[in-house]
Structure 1
């Protein structure tokens, strides 16, 4: 993997695949560049696809203290590494990070997000506050496995499956990234959609959700699309929170193909 330095000197590890207009994939909670590799391989024949380890994960560094602004600077360093502009696709909390980055001025013309886990409404804010408090208690107590289990249970993974995951080799890797769950939690702030801040998002944006996702996720995606100045919404039939790369790739290819036109017209 290649590395670039973020503004605070943190090394961010990334990998490029393919040739064409640059597309950066921003992973969600407990994901690494390897998590996004299947989607990257499908898109690579048409785009230069960049996957990366967000700070605190995989081969990237983790200079502290954490701040959302530092993760925005990480993404800005990657955009600079691919020529100064890029299209971006973010999954889950990675989608929220991509939106925050564009609202802060990241040079992105086209932005797609899949189910950023906002929890709008009074009950949603209360739920998010409860989860945040529990997460920080677990991490402060050094219970990294408990923090991972909390995240998985909140996202709908059944208890018996979590028990099987605890016995599987992948569990060690998840636990090694448990501290970054606090980073994703910070990106989501209080869980509400920051409509006032997102009024600054200038990129054409595609907000996607799964047809079989939870009612909360689908309603949140619609609300997010309504809050963004230049957004449209799309539902992928048959998809859930566990997005299939084969289902998402053609949607992104069609959407990001507009980047070619935008670059030629500018």
Structure 2
């Protein structure tokens, strides 16, 4: 099984990618506050049957020097360039990474064979403003209120019952400790990674009209969530399931928003992805 990390220079866009395995190409797109290293276990599980390519998104990890404007189309174009260069016609995205994957499939409908989306924060009927909290976090980051920004994220994104029932002042203390000592999967300090969420907040804003543009997509789609997913995330997938002509809906039991990452259940996610990407 081959293993390599390198920078892909394509059309003047140097993006770091992590490549493992041999077989049909599968491109993995991390979400907010994540780097390619967060998909190490998922990539390793898939690499037994696929060539897995994990992209390092703009402004983070090994692509930290690549300027991020916060444009959804810009990141979707990065995905399409990598997919073309690496002959990867199957893609998986988590959270904001799923929004990027969806947009890539809309921009070039014939470039991608299959897309798998895990809990995209996509506005849908009845939940048009459900993800406006990302704007709040972006504003707090702009004001350099790092602890308040992370606390706000924990209150909304935390889908474990312990977090849901923890008082705000305790979450704030936990956020302060995390910012002082916490590190991402690649060893980067959380305090350095947190500002990249401005980028994800902009992507969520840009994605508010994606649902209306989905009916013309030709890629087959696997729409995934954990059974701990908040109602707006489930509603987004249900709405996509209604709009997309070739969609399959899947709920994984006993997992939450980060199931595909190293600390979740990436092996379970990989088994479903493998079956989906290998189907005719």
**Which band: TM-score by shorter chain?**
0.7 to 0.9
Corresponding residue of 1:96: 99
Runs (4+) of structure 1 exceeding 4 A deviation are: 190-193
Structure 1 residues 98 and 221, CA, compared in 2 at 3 Å: closer, same or farther?
same
Q: Describe the superposition over 1:81-120 as per-residue Cα deviations: whole angstroms up to 9, x where unpaired.
A: 213x420011111011100111000611011111112243
CA–CA distance in 2 between the matches of 1:10 and 1:32?
18
Larger deviation, residues 111-120 vs 172-181? 172-181
Report what 2:168 is aligned to. none
| Alpha-carbon distance between aligned partners in 1 of 2:276 and 2:226, rounded to the nearest angstrom | 17
Answer yes or no: is 1:165 the counterpart of 2:178: yes
Residues 1:86 and 2:86 aligned together:
no
Which secondary structure state, in structure 2, belongs to the residue aligned with residue 239 of structure 1? coil
Report the Cα distance in structure 1 between the residues aligned to 2:24 and 2:130, rounded to whole angstroms.
40
1:255 aligns with 2:255: no
* Mapped partners of 1:91, 1:132: distance in 2: 16
Aligned residues: 255
Cα deviation per residue 1:169-200 (whole Å; 9 max; x = unaligned)? 31762321233212222222276463321123
Q: Corresponding residue for 1:264?
A: none
* Alignment map for 1:41-80 (pairs within 5 Å): 41-60=44-63, 61-63=65-67, 65-80=69-84
Q: Secondary structure at the match of 1:189?
A: helix
Deviation at 1:151, TM superposition (A): 2.4
C-alpha spacing 1:2/1:145, structure 2 compared with 1 (3 Å):
farther
Give how far 1:167 is off: 4.5
Structure 1: give runs of 5+ residues left out of the alignment: 262-266
TM-score of the two chains, using structure 1 as the length reference: 0.86
> 2:118 touches 2:223 (CA, 8 Å); kept in 1?
yes
Structure 1 vs Structure 2 CA RMSD: 2.3
The residue aligned with 2:137 is 135
TM norm structure 2: 0.82
* Contact persistence 1:125–1:191 (CA under 8 A): no
Matched, 1:116 2:129: no
Give the match's secondary structure for 1:177. helix
Q: CA deviation at 1:154?
A: 1.9
In the TM superposition, residue 232 of structure 1 has moved relative to its aligned partner by: 1.4
